[in-house]
Amino acid sequence: MRPSRREFLKWVSASGIALSLSRLGSAEAAGLPPRASLPGQGNWNPASGGVGRIDGVAKVTGAKLYASDFRASDLPGWPAKTSHAILVRAPDATHVYTGMDLARLSGAAKPSVVVTAADLDRIGTRVPEFYTGDLFCPIGKTPIYMGQPVALLIFETFEAFDQARLALRDGTFVKFGEETGPVTIADYGAYRFTRVAGATPDAPDVYSPLLAGWVSPGRSQKSPLPVWSPAAKDTQAPYAKAAVYGEQIRSELAAKNPNLLVLDREFETQSVDPMFLEPESGLAWYNGKSGSLELVLGVQSPYEAAESIAHLLGKAKAPFKPARINAQFTYVGGGFGGRDHTTFVLYVALAAMFFPGHPVRLAHDRLQQFQGGIKRHAFKMRSRIGVDRSTGKIQAFAADHVLDGGGLANFSANVATCGATAAIGIYDIPKVDVTTVALHSRGVTAGSMRGYGTLQTMTALEVLVDEVAAALPLDPIEFRRRNALRPNGRTMTGNPYIVSVRTTDILDKLEKHPIWQQRAQRKLDAPNGTLVGTGVACVTKDYGTGGDCSLGRVELSPEGKVVIYCDHVEMGNGIGTALANRVAIHLGAVADEVSVARVDSYDALGLVTSGDSYTIDQKTQDAAEKNPRWVPAISSATSASIGAHVGTHSAAEAARVIFRFGLWPAALELWRIAPGDPRAKDSSKAQWKDGQLVMPGLDPLPFPALAAKAHARNLVTGAVAHSFSRWAWSRARFPLGGEQYRAEIDALAVRKGNGKFARINRVSVKFPPTDNNRIGTAYTSMCGTVVRVEIERATGALRIAKAYSVFECGQALVPEVVLGQAQGGFAMGVGYALFETLPLYEGGPGNGQWNLGQYLVARGSDLPLHDLEIEMLPPLTPDEPPKGMAEVVMVPVVPAILNAIFDATGRRFQSLPVTANLLKGVLA
**Measuring CA to CA, which residue among 178, 209, 199 is closest to residue 96?**
178
Report the Cα–Cα distance between both ends of the chain, in Å, rounded.
67
State residue 51's pLDDT score. Answer: 47
Structure confidence by residue, pLDDT tens digits, 176-222: 999 999 999 999 999 999 999 999 999 999 999 999 999 999 876 77
Give yes or no for residue 902 having a pLDDT over 80: yes
C-alpha–C-alpha distance, residues 152 and 515, integer Å: 55
CA 692 to each of CA 119, 483, 654: distance values in angstroms, whole numbers, following the listed order: 63, 49, 20
- Using CB atoms within 10 A of its CB, is residue 255 exposed (0-12), middle (13-18) or buried (19+)? exposed
Do residues 556 and 593 touch, judged by C-beta distance below 8 A? no
State residue 52's pLDDT score. Answer: 60
C-alpha–C-alpha distance, residues 443 and 844, integer Å: 8
Least-confidence region, from 90-104, 215-229, 367-381: 215-229
Model confidence band, residue 597 (pLDDT cutoffs 50, 70, 90) = confident
Do residues 812 and 877 touch, judged by C-beta distance below 8 A? no
State residue 27's pLDDT score. Answer: 30
**Measuring CA to CA, which residue among 537, 550, 565, 552 is closest to residue 37?**
565
The SS3 of residue 229 is: coil
How many C-beta atoms lie closer than 10 Å to residue 761's C-beta?
14
Give yes or no for residue 32 having a pLDDT over 50: no
In one letter, which amino acid is 164?
Answer: A
**Measuring CA to CA, which residue among 876, 781, 703 is closest to residue 451?**
781
Give yes or no for residue 900 having a pLDDT over 70: yes
State residue 442's pLDDT score. Answer: 98
Structure confidence by residue, pLDDT tens digits, 66-87: 999 999 999 999 999 999 999 9
In one letter, which amino acid is 847?
Answer: N
C-alpha–C-alpha distance, residues 222 and 187, integer Å: 11
C-alpha–C-alpha distance, residues 616 and 771, integer Å: 9
Buried b / exposed e over 343-370, threshold 16 CB at 10 Å, is bbbbbbbbbbbbbbebbbbbbbebbbbb
Give yes or no for residue 10 having a pLDDT over 90: no
**Measuring CA to CA, which residue among 835, 825, 811, 899 is closest to residue 868?**
825
Give yes or no for residue 762 having a pLDDT over 80: yes
State residue 48's pLDDT score. Answer: 32
Give yes or no for residue 35 having a pLDDT over 50: no
Model confidence band, residue 1 (pLDDT cutoffs 50, 70, 90) = very low
Give yes or no for residue 40 having a pLDDT over 70: no
Report the DSSP pairing between strands 530-542 and 687-689: unpaired
State residue 265's pLDDT score. Answer: 98
Strand partners, 734: 741
Structure confidence by residue, pLDDT tens digits, 453-475: 999 999 999 999 999 999 999 99
In 498-581, the DSSP E strands lie at 530-542, 548-556, 562-566
What is the DSSP track for 451-484?
TTTHHHHHHHHHHHHHHHHHHTT--HHHHHHHHB
Give yes or no for residue 639 having a pLDDT over 90: no
Query: Chain-wide mean pLDDT for the chain?
Result: 93
Model confidence band, residue 700 (pLDDT cutoffs 50, 70, 90) = very high
C-alpha–C-alpha distance, residues 528 and 530, integer Å: 6
Element spanning 692, H or E: strand 692-694
CA 686 to each of CA 682, 692, 739, 813, 894: distance values in angstroms, whole numbers, following the listed order: 7, 10, 20, 20, 46
Model pTM score: 0.94
Structure confidence by residue, pLDDT tens digits, 649-676: 999 999 999 999 999 999 999 999 999 9
What is the DSSP track for 479-512?
HHHHHBPPTT-B-TTS-B-SS---HHHHHHHHHH
Strand partners, 191: 436
State residue 233's pLDDT score. Answer: 80
| pLDDT (mean) for 132-143 | 97
**Measuring CA to CA, which residue among 372, 350, 376 is closest to residue 271?**
376
In 737-892, the DSSP E strands lie at 739-743, 747-752, 758-760, 764-766, 780-792, 798-808, 868-873
How many C-beta atoms lie closer than 10 Å to residue 811's C-beta?
18
Identify which has the larger pLDDT, 916 or 45.
916
C-alpha–C-alpha distance, residues 19 and 3, integer Å: 12
Buried b / exposed e over 99-136, threshold 16 CB at 10 Å, is ebebeebeeebebbbebbbebbeebebebbeebebbbb
Share of the chain above pLDDT 70, in %: 94
C-alpha–C-alpha distance, residues 649 and 500, integer Å: 18
C-alpha–C-alpha distance, residues 384 and 254, integer Å: 9
Model confidence band, residue 571 (pLDDT cutoffs 50, 70, 90) = confident
Do residues 406 and 464 touch, judged by C-beta distance below 8 A? no
| pLDDT (mean) for 318-334 | 92
State residue 38's pLDDT score. Answer: 54
Do residues 333 and 281 touch, judged by C-beta distance below 8 A? no
Give yes or no for residue 11 having a pLDDT over 90: no
State residue 470's pLDDT score. Answer: 98
Least-confidence region, from 24-33, 179-188, 595-604, 822-831: 24-33
CA 391 to each of CA 198, 252, 567, 582, 904: distance values in angstroms, whole numbers, following the listed order: 19, 18, 51, 46, 28
How many C-beta atoms lie closer than 10 Å to residue 641's C-beta?
27
Strand partners, 215: 192
Structure confidence by residue, pLDDT tens digits, 707-759: 999 999 999 999 999 999 999 999 999 999 999 999 999 999 999 999 999 99
State residue 8's pLDDT score. Answer: 37
CA 874 to each of CA 51, 235, 574, 808: distance values in angstroms, whole numbers, following the listed order: 16, 49, 20, 7
Q: Find all residues with CB under 8 Å of 598, minimum gap 6, and list them.
A: 22, 23, 26, 551, 553, 565, 566, 567
Q: DSSP secondary-structure letter at 135?
A: S
Give yes or no for residue 234 having a pLDDT over 90: no
